[in-house]
Structure formats: structure tokens, C-alpha cells
């Protein structure tokens, strides 16, 4: 009766199973601990730098507090008019009406509104007025003398497209107690000063800006380092595209958040450039976010999420080209008439963003129902961001006061945190798989080492030597010996497709099948057919090529049969002439019948027999050129004067030298050399 093959019959299998479980557990917890330690340390370092920066600002402020007082709110005793003109400054009242800043929501009567107030009787050193939000262009007068101007619609560039910025308006030292007028123009529904106004010294106002923007800048700095770190991970392997999308998403958020600060105008006073960066960051952020979700949730390029990603990339590219064309137009003509097109395509983006939101949230809900934890985390981050966006919309619509304590940057920060948590989860799971794979590899290596003979058996008429080099921790090659009698021996060599645990298990199955076929050791063809019968449909789709050699020194014959394996080489040692035994047969594990044949050859003391696997032929050098048959035959001939053990070592070293010392082996290497002594 044929012996039943069972993996549990392998030596010490239960012991290895227990060790594998313990190693997996320890490796997983160790990996998770190291990952979280690194992230916590990274965040702590960032917060330390930010804390030191704030402390430095406070120390400087303390040193200057005796010279400059803190800025004061300048929001009362203002008046507005839709009819005033600076030319009529000394005529009548022009229907001035009292108002408290920021301006309440009002029915817009014109694209121009005038605001005025009286400056304090006493001004600080280097006096200035700070306005965080103003829609949109402004010209400032003290009495009838202009002292400040930004984007006067009557004279500059474009009436449709106006950059927005915060304003630090220097006031002449002799302006105390005088009237100050603001001519504000806007083609949009919103017009006027929509934020609190402060008056103080220029230094105190700058300090006020830094302190009020500290949370935005802190989040932008953290986002920058997170994005930079993620891109470095992607560059290191160029395979994990989730880090690519996440890295650029974080960096685009740096631009997006910075655009909501007044500090940006102090650092680089180029409002048109800043609004271009804001437009680009918003449109590319959505593309990067969709790309990240597509990779994390394992959606293909042809899926609805993949198609949505391509649409967003196409639109982002289109809008980027339009923005670049406006820069060229402004540089060449001094105007930006293309700005009207920018506004039109921006409406397209709003519709696209709405479609993105509906599709992505529906996908998240579907994945959430399936128990996907990543979808739940992402949905929580988007929910928080939506709340902050709705708050900003409510402020703009007048449901809340226009104090401009917006929280969009905190929504973005929470979203970045949720994306980071997902990456941490993905990284931890990947490390778990690596740890489990290493544990499995170690066990498979022990299995492999237990089935590969360390030394060939002694035979008084033969000298046998073998070399085996795995391409990975566990290879797919296998060989063994079957001493039959004092003058008979069988030698099997096999090459299993693939590497790793599966190859080791199939090799062990091949060994069991080989030794369970001892009744046909003297008939190579029958032996291979029997092994095929045992292994058929039991190798999970992996195949193996096998060559079996039977040597009988009493009859001076050699019988070989092959199942898809490279033929054995016979070399005449005095002349160096060689030839291959013309064995044929199908590969094992794929067909019911191998149709292999027995090839009989006479042997004598002047011949050398060589068995090998194709890993020798396929070894690559640094130029990606294979070692090849010619180099192999050349090495065989150069080693003919050596005994089989030394000949094996010589050929092995020649192959490894070609392959840069085992760095370019695509497959395992097995080499067996047999000499007839008498």
C-alpha cells in the first residue's frame, strides 16, 4: 500500500509549530512597540522645537514690553457709506451710518464701500493698523492724502480676479486725531472689513500676528515633516505608493494651511502667488487623497475609485496649466484677463469635489459595514474636517460672528492624524507579515537542511561530491542518494518552482515520495512515474523537474531518466570531450503521464558525470548577463584534473565570482560530480 504523505510526519513538526507561534507573537509585539516609539519620539521632538520657538518669542516680547504696548482693538466708532467720494470729503454727510467692526452681513448696494473713523489722540511709536480679512481691494487715506493702496480696481490688473491678503497699514506719526478713510472694492457678494481691527506699534502687531497664527504654523510645520518623512520612505523603495500620495497630500496641506495665516504676507508679500499656491494645493490635495484611499483600500485602476482618481488628476493638471498661463500673461502684458477662466473652471472643481465627497463617503460606509477598520478611521477624520468646514461656511453666511476663529486647520490636522494612524497600521501589519515570514523561513530552513544530505554515501567504486547554494533563505532545489547495494546507487536531483516555505514543503514531499518508491530504485523511468503519481494534484500548482540516475558498477552501466530537468553531462576526462544523455519527459505535477524514457550508458574510470540545476546557467553578473552554458562547460573542463570535491568547489567559485558573490543568483544552485574509480 502506498504510504500516505502527511506534513505532520516530518521530524519535530509539533515542536517547530510551537516555536513558530511564540516567535510570531514576540516579533509582532516588538515591531508594534518599536514603530509607536519612533512615532512618539518624532512628535515629541517636533513639539519641543515649537515650544522652544514660542519661548524665544516670549523672551523677546518681555524684553520689548517696556517700549511697545500690546495692540488694542480698533473696532468701535466706525461709519460706512455707499455714496462717498474722496473728492467730496469736505461736502456734506454722504449718508454715513455708524457700524461696529467686523461689518455685519448687509445688502450690497455697490462694488465700492467707504469706511471711516477717527484715529486716537495719542499714537504709539511706529503706529500701524492691522486688518486680517478685507474684501478685497483697498485704498487708505488720512484726510484726503492716500497712505496705503492694494489692488485698486480702477487702475490695476483685473476686476474679476483679486488676490486677498491681510494688511498691516503704517500710519504717519502726525496722524493722531485725524480722520482715516478706507475705500474698499469687491466684485463678489462679500465686501468690506470682515475681521476685527487692531491698532498699535508695528512691532506689537507683528508679535500679535505670530501668536494668533501659532496653531496654524505649528500644524503646517508638523505636516511638512510628516510629508517629508513619508516621501523619504517612498523614495527608499519606490513601491509603497500610499506613502507617495500621503507625503504629497501633507505637503500640499502645508501650503493650504499657510494661506490661512497673516504670517504668510510678512514672510513673502506676494498675494497673487499665495492665492495661486492655495488653488493648486486644494486641487492637488484632493487628487492625492483619492490616490491614498485607492491604495489603502486596494482598489484597482479600473474601479470607480481608480477612474475618479484619473479624473481628478486630469482636472488638476488642466487647472495647473491655466494658472501657469495667467502667470505668463501677467508677466508679458501686465494684466490677467485669463482670470475669468480661472473662476469658471473653479466652479467645475467645486462640483467635482462634491462628487468626490459623495463617492468616497459611500465607499467608506460600504467598507465600514464590511468591518474595514481603515475605512472607519478615515471616515472619522473626514467627519471632523467636515464639521470645521461647515463652521467656516456658517461664519461666512452670518450664523456666527465674524471673529475669524476658524478651525479648518484643526480639521486638516485631525485628518492628517487619521491618515498617519492608517499608515502606522499598514506598516505594523507589514512588519508582522515580515516577522511571520522570517519565522516561517527559519522553520522551512530547518526542514530543508534536514532533507538535504550533508555528505554523500561511501561507495568503493565511486567518488561523489555535491554543492548546494540557495538563492534565498530556503531554496527550491533538492537532491538525495539511495544506496541500493555495494555496487548500486541511485541519485536524484530536483528543482521546485519558487522558493521559501512552499518549496521546502514540496521538497520534503518529494523526499518522502522518493524513499517510498524503493521498489523501483533500479528503474529510473518507473521511479519518476511513481513520484508523479504520488505528488499529482498535491503541490498547489507548483511544479518540479527531476532527474534520477542509477549506477551499477558491477555491470558498468548508468541509467538515467528525466522529467523536464536539464540533462546530465558525461565528460571524457583524458580528451575533455563531453556530451549530454538525451533524456526526455514532462515536468512532475502537471500531467498524469510523464512519457519519460530510460537512457543507458556504459561507464568506465575515464568518465565524469555531472548533474546540475539551471540556477548555474541563469546566474547573472553586474551587467545582467547570464553565466550561460559556455562558461559552465569551460569551468567543467578546467576542473577535470581535480578530484570531484575540489572540482565542485572550483565550478561553484567560478559561478559565484560571475554573480558577484551570490548577489545576483536568480535561482538555487545544485551541482553533483561523480567519478568512476575502478
Q: What tens digit of pLDDT does each residue of 319-331 get?
A: 888 888 777 666 5
Q: Give the pLDDT confidence score for residue 46 in this predicted structure.
A: 53
Q: Tell me how far apart the alpha carbons of residues 122 and 171 are, in angstroms, rounded to a whole number.
A: 12
Give the Cα separation of 507 and 587 in Å (integer): 15
The answer to the question of residue 338 being in a domain is: no
Question: Which pLDDT belongs to residue 143?
Answer: 87
The predicted structure's pLDDT at residue 12:
35
Minimum mean pLDDT range among 65-74, 401-410, 449-458, 485-494: 401-410
List, for residues 82-129, the tens digit of each pLDDT value: 988 888 777 766 688 999 888 887 788 888 999 999 999 999 999 999
pLDDT of 287? 92
Paired with 367 in beta bridges are none
Q: What is the pLDDT of residues 461-517, one digit of tens each?
A: 899 999 998 776 666 788 999 999 989 999 999 998 877 777 888 888 899 999 999
Span 553-566, pLDDT tens digits: 999 999 999 999 99
pLDDT over threshold 90, residue 521:
yes
How many residues in total does the chain contain? 678
Domain that holds residue 89: 72-211
Give the model confidence (pLDDT) of 336-369 as tens digits.
565 566 767 777 888 888 888 889 888 888 888 8
Indicate the angle between helix axes 500-515 and 408-451, nearest 10 degrees: 20
Q: For residue 652, is it within any domain?
A: yes
pLDDT at 640 over 90: yes
**Most confident stretch, 60-74, 119-133, 152-166, 418-432:** 119-133
Whether 92 maps to a domain, the answer reads: yes
275: CB partners within 8 A, 6+ apart: 163, 164, 259
User: What pLDDT score does 557 carry?
Assistant: 95
DSSP class of 620: B
The mean pLDDT value of the chain amounts to 82
For residue 424, which of 24, 48, 23, 43 has the smallest C-alpha distance? 43
Q: What is the pTM assigned to this prediction?
A: 0.63
Q: Which three cell numbers stand for residue 557?
A: 552501466
Last residue of a domain, one of 175, 196, 211: 211
Is pLDDT of 6 > 60? no
Helix, strand, or coil here: 548? strand
Cell of 377: 478611521
C-alpha cell at 26: 514576540
Q: What is residue 87's predicted lDDT score, i.e. its pLDDT?
A: 81
First to last CA, the chain: 39
296: in domain: no
Of 41-45, 220-224, 262-266, 575-579, which gets the smallest average pLDDT?
41-45
Mean pLDDT for 238-259 is: 90
Over residues 424-461, the pLDDT tens digits come to 888 888 788 878 877 777 777 777 778 889 889 988 88
Q: What is the pLDDT of residue 329?
A: 62
Q: Which of 91-95, 156-160, 221-225, 587-591 has the lowest mean pLDDT?
A: 156-160
pLDDT at 36 over 60: no
| Last residue within a domain, chosen from 184, 211, 238 | 211
Instruction: State the Cα–Cα distance between residues 22 and 596, nearest whole angstrom.
Output: 46
Of the residues 211, 230, 261, the one at which a domain ends: 211
- Of the two residues 48 and 25, the one the predictor is more confident about is 48
How crowded is residue 455: how many other Cβ atoms within 10 Å of its Cβ? Answer: 9
Predicted confidence at residue 7, as pLDDT, reads 33
- Asked if residues 627 and 619 have their Cβ atoms less than 8 Å apart, the reply is yes
For residue 347, being part of any structural domain is answered with no
Q: Is residue 148 part of a domain?
A: yes
CB 550 within 8 A of CB 521: yes
Q: Is residue 142 part of a domain?
A: yes
pLDDT digits (tens, 9 = 90+) for 552-611: 999 999 999 999 999 999 999 999 999 999 999 999 988 889 999 999 999 998 899 999
The CATH number of residue 107's host domain is 2.60.120.260
Read off φ and ψ for residue 537, nearest 5 degrees: 65, 20
Average pLDDT over residues 400-411: 70
How many structural domains are present in the chain?
2
Highest mean pLDDT of the ranges 69-83, 396-410, 518-532: 518-532
Q: CATH number of the domain that 460 lies in?
A: 3.60.40.10
* Percent share of the chain, pLDDT over 70: 82
In a domain, 459, yes or no: yes
C-alpha to C-alpha distance for 377 and 292, rounded to whole angstroms: 14
Amino acid at each position: 500500500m502506498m504510504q500516505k504523505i502527511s506534513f505532520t510526519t516530518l521530524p519535530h513538526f509539533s515542536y517547530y509549530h510551537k516555536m513558530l507561534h511564540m516567535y510570531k507573537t514576540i516579533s509582532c509585539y516588538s515591531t508594534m512597540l518599536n514603530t509607536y516609539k519612533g512615532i512618539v519620539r518624532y512628535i515629541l521632538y517636533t513639539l519641543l522645537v515649537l515650544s522652544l520657538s514660542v519661548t524665544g518669542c516670549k523672551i523677546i516680547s518681555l524684553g520689548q514690553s517696556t517700549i511697545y504696548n500690546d495692540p488694542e482693538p480698533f473696532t468701535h466708532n466706525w461709519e460706512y457709506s455707499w455714496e462717498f467720494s474722496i473728492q467730496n470729503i469736505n461736502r456734506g454727510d454722504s449718508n454715513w451710518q455708524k457700524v461696529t467692526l467686523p461689518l455685519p452681513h448687509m445688502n450690497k448696494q455697490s462694488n465700492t464701500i467707504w469706511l471711516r473713523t477717527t484715529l486716537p489722540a495719542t499714537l504709539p511709536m511706529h503706529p500701524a493698523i492691522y486688518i486680517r480679512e478685507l474684501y478685497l481691494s483697498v485704498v487708505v487715506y488720512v484726510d484726503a492724502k492716500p497712505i496705503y493702496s492694494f489692488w485698486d480696481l480702477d487702475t490695476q490688473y483685473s476686476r474679476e480676479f483679486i488676490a486677498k491678503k491681510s494688511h498691516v497699514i503704517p500710519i504717519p506719526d502726525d496722524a493722531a486725531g485725524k480722520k482715516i478713510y478706507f475705500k474698499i472694492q469687491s466684485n463678489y457678494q462679500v465686501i468690506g472689513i470682515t475681521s476685527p481691527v487692531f491698532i498699535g506699534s508695528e512691532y506689537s502687531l507683528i508679535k500679535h500676528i505670530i501668536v494668533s497664527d501659532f496653531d496654524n504654523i505649528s500644524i503646517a510645520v508638523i505636516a511638512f515633516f510628516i510629508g517629508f518623512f513619508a516621501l523619504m520612505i517612498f523614495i527608499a523603495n519606490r513601491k509603497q505608493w500610499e506613502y507617495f500620495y500621503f507625503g504629497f497630500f501633507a505637503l500640499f496641506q502645508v501650503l493650504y494651511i499657510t494661506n490661512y495665516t497673516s504670517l504668510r504676507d510678512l514672510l513673502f508679500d506676494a498675494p497673487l502667488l499665495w492665492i495661486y499656491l492655495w488653488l493648486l494645493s486644494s486641487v492637488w490635495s484632493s487628487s492625492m487623497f483619492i490616490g491614498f484611499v485607492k491604495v489603502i483600500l486596494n482598489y484597482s485602476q479600473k474601479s470607480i475609485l481608480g477612474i475618479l482618481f484619473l479624473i481628478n488628476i486630469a482636472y488638476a493638471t488642466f487647472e495647473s496649466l491655466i494658472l501657469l498661463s495667467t502667470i505668463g500673461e501677467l508677466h508679458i502684458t501686465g494684466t490677467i484677463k485669463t482670470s475669468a477662466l480661472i473662476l469658471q473652471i473653479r466652479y467645475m472643481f467645486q462640483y467635482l469635489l462634491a462628487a468626490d465627497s459623495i463617492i468616497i463617503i459611500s465607499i467608506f460606509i460600504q467598507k465600514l459595514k464590511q468591518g474595514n477598520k481603515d475605512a472607519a478611521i478615515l471616515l472619522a477624520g473626514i467627519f471632523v474636517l467636515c464639521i470645521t468646514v461647515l463652521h467656516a461656511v456658517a461664519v461666512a453666511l452670518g450664523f456666527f460672528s465674524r471673529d475669524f476663529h476658524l478651525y479648518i486647520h484643526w480639521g486638516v490636522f485631525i485628518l492628517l492624524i487619521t491618515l498617519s494612524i492608517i499608515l502606522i497600521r499598514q506598516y505594523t501589519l507589514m512588519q508582522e507579515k515580515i516577522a511571520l515570514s522570517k519565522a516561517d523561513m527559519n522553520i522551512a530552513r530547518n526542514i530543508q537542511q534536514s532533507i538535504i544530505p550533508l555528505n554523500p554515501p561511501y561507495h568503493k567504486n565511486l567518488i561523489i561530491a555535491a554543492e548546494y547554494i540557495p538563492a534565498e533563505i530556503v531554496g527550491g532545489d533538492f537532491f538525495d542518494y539511495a544506496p541500493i547495494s555495494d555496487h548500486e546507487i541511485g541519485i536524484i536531483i530536483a528543482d521546485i518552482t519558487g522558493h521559501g516555505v512552499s518549496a521546502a514543503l514540496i521538497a520534503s514531499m518529494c523526499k518522502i515520495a522518493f524513499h517510498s518508491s524503493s521498489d523501483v530504485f533500479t528503474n529510473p523511468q518507473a521511479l519518476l512515474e511513481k513520484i508523479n503519481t504520488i505528488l499529482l494534484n498535491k503541490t498547489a500548482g507548483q511544479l518540479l523537474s527531476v532527474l534520477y540516475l542509477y549506477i551499477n558498477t558491477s555491470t558498468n552501466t548508468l541509467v538515467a531518466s528525466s522529467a523536464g530537468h536539464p540533462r546530465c553531462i558525461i565528460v571524457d576526462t583524458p580528451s575533455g570531450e563531453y556530451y549530454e544523455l538525451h533524456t526526455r519527459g514532462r515536468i512532475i505535477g502537471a500531467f498524469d503521464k510523464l512519457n519519460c524514457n530510460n537512457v543507458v550508458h556504459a561507464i568506465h574510470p575515464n568518465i565524469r558525470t555531472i548533474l546540475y540545476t539551471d540556477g548555474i546557467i541563469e546566474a547573472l553578473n553586474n551587467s545582467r548577463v547570464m553565466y550561460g552554458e559556455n562558461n559552465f562547460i569551460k569551468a567543467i573542463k578546467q576542473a577535470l584534473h581535480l578530484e570531484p570535491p575540489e572540482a565542485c568547489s572550483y565550478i561553484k567559485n567560478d559561478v559565484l565570482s560571475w554573480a558577484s558573490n551570490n548577489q545576483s543568483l536568480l535561482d538555487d544552485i545544485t551541482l553533483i560530480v561523480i567519478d568512476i574509480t575502478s
